[in-house]
Chain A
């Protein structure tokens, strides 16, 4: 599958712009103030293609903060919470879906 950055932009609901932080690759979200946040709740959420394109263009202006920006679907919860809109984004937000190997040995 092509990465989201390589796909044609379609906006059929609420979306946000996401990327990876340059220094460590951490998942970040574009905020309304033109910055980046690691909290999805801080993301600027838009619902039209022109708004999404504007967010994306802003994200691309300076590439020393974050890289690989793309538009990702989000879901607006009942209480106004912003939630990831598909499995890929759920994994990016919540981490891998299994327990990471612990750096401890089983009891001998």
Chain B
């Protein structure tokens, strides 16, 4: 965990006081809505269909048990007893009253979390791998670099009014769990032939109405240069990015229009002016940030202890273990994913009671630390293997041990038309119905890894372009219809899905997904060939022929 200092706490308290004053002035009429709206957005407050929504950043997906417990408190006291974890490692509260928001923010600020820069045309929450610091695959802890970028970008005066919002993601492992290739800037931390640590820099990725996979503009950037290089990128974007058309204002459009090569040349030219200046990171600065991350005091314990291997005799525990427990870099420890996708439930939602349970379990078994992944699940990154059986029993009792991680019912879904003022169609009920169709976990296990992503509009908060099966809600003559894409992926081989065929109605979607899955089971070369690989081998035509013949 990163330890905040007195500066951070004082800063947040001042910010909350400012917002309290702004709300009071708005309610009294001293501020008009036009004046107030940008102020509330800068604090992560949106006005949705039925109520205000507060979006709170979870920096690089890392939460302490105290922070999660406080989120449960906010959900219980100011909202309707639950929160929604998003695809950008944020949490959203959907029913908060404007008049309660300042106190909710004050409560959150006491534990160091806030909604600053979760909205607006600024650099948003820097996201990364939810297994950071725990996975044996990584070259370094990516959170160090995410924190450096967070401190640099928070209230950066030059980048507070960008042409559009700006999202950065970092992976430090070859296996990309942070979807870095579909971010405005994706950073891939690795070592060069000389063993030096640096980033491959990708720009211009993104989803929305004009999706692109990011282009690599620099294969290796020494870590000490990360801030000056990001600043050079931002300056080029700020200068040349379009402001005349909101739909063409993201950096991906600029990169696409002038080409990655020309964009890279512009960045390199800008960087040449600033690379040796004040933004160059010294070892002292890096070490200071690194020292503020406190790591668990891991014990020297046996790998695969008897307590755990004995528990594997229980088929339910064994099923969960094989699905939700992952290898840790320290022998005797494991990474545990907590599915927030119980069959038939809204994806990514956790009740206040469940949040408290996870916080308590993190205290008891996971060094007080919780992570949030972009797939809308939680994670306990540091669990002693001997504790896994008891952890599982308690998660199971709280409805948090569904062994469906990476299965067809582990669906990513945006809030959709049930909450969102921008949506055209519902996403959550579609996810719920698909999840119910695949409630048989033996069946879903036999299908293997399969990501279904659903967005309720072209803004693509549900990442439908990069779902193995992507579902996009559209509106036609007042009715909900859904376009289906196949073959997208968000990992290190990121690719946009291919449209399967004509859009289908709301009622047809679950059956169509079942037909697609049945077609895959017929078409796959072997049970080891994943869905997405079958689509890449054969294209969408064989699926189209089978699926539309029955619809």
Contacts and interface: CB of A to CB of B under 8 A. Distances in A.
Contact of B98 (A25, A91, A96): A25
Interface string A25-57: 111000000000000000000000000000000
A88 B417 contact: yes
A101 to B, nearest CB: 4
A101 B417 contact: no
A96 B419 contact: yes
A101 B346 contact: yes
A44 to B, nearest CB: 21
Interface string B23-39: 00011110011000000
A104 B353 contact: yes
Q: Classify the interface of chain B: helix, strand, loop or mixed.
A: mixed
Interface stretch (B138-146, B317-325, B420-428, B508-516): B420-428
Interface in B349-404: 349-354, 357, 397-399
B530 interface: no
Given A86-B478, A103-B82, A104-B351, A24 B76 contact: no
Nearest to A5: B421
Contact of A23 (B29, B99, B478): B99
A20 to B, nearest CB: 6
Nearest to B75: A103
B346 A92 contact: no
B80 A100 contact: yes
Interface stretch (B45-53, B266-274, B282-290): B45-53
A103 B28 contact: no
B307 interface: no
A81 interface: no
Interface string A66-108: 0110000000000000000011100110011110111111101
A22 interface: yes
A7 interface: no
Contacts of A67: 33, 47
Contacts of A24: 51-52, 97-99
B66 interface: no
B424 A22 contact: no
Interface in B417-449: 417-419, 421-424, 426, 428-429, 432
Contacts of B29: 63-64
Interface residues of B, number: 48
A103 B397 contact: no
B169 interface: no
A106 B27 CA distance: 40
A22 B81 contact: no
Contacts of A91: 49, 417-418
B52 A101 contact: no
A98 B399 CA distance: 18
A105 B27 contact: no
B97 A64 contact: no
Given A97-B429, A101-B82, A105-B357, A25 B50 contact: yes
24 contacts: A1-B422, A1-B458, A1-B475, A3-B422, A22-B98, A23-B27, A24-B51, A24-B98, A26-B50, A27-B50, A63-B29, A64-B29, A87-B480, A88-B49, A88-B417, A98-B418, A98-B429, A101-B82, A101-B346, A101-B349, A101-B351, A103-B75, A103-B76, A106-B399
Interface of A: 1, 3, 20, 22-27, 63-64, 67-68, 86-88, 91-92, 95-98, 100-106, 108
Interface of B: 26-29, 32-33, 47-52, 75-76, 80-82, 97-99, 345-346, 349-354, 357, 397-399, 417-419, 421-424, 426, 428-429, 432, 457-458, 475, 478, 480
User: Sorted from nearest, which 10 A-B pairs have the closest CB atoms?
Assistant: A103-B81, A108-B397, A25-B51, A24-B97, A96-B418, A101-B82, A64-B29, A25-B52, A106-B399, A101-B349
Given A22-B27, A104-B353, A106-B398, 4 more contacts: A63-B29, A88-B49, A96-B50, A101-B82
